[in-house]
């Protein structure tokens, strides 16, 4: 579940379950078959974690830059 709050307005979103390991394997297979170099996404994960901690400490919001990978959608 994802809860987004802005001022007095809040909304909840629950999406379908995602198998993250299968997503990673699919992405890697796509890169192998198309002779592309896989892009690591650990940095994006760390930036999101750091932004979460900062927002919790300050009570504010912290913008995160969205980086799209060449991953095929399931």
Most confident of 16-25, 35-44, 50-59, 63-72: 50-59
Residue 59: the pLDDT is 93
- As a whole number, mean pLDDT of residues 48-72 equals 81
Domain ranges in the chain? 40-74
Nearest to 47 by CA among 21, 65, 61, 33: 65
Q: Can you give the pTM of this predicted structure?
A: 0.43
**Residue predicted with more confidence, 11 or 64:** 11
User: What's the mean pLDDT when you consider all of the chain?
Assistant: 84
Burial class for 62, CB neighbours closer than 10 Å (0-12, 13-18, 19+): middle
């Amino acid at each position: 579940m994802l809860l987004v709050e802005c001022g007095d307005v809040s909304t909840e979103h629950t999406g379908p379950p995602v198998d993250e390991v299968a997503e990673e394997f699919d992405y890697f297979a796509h890169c192998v078959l198309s002779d592309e170099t896989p892009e690591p996404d650990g940095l994006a994960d760390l930036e999101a974690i750091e932004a979460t901690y900062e927002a919790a400490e300050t009570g504010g919001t912290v913008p995160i830059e969205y980086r799209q990978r060449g991953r095929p959608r399931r």
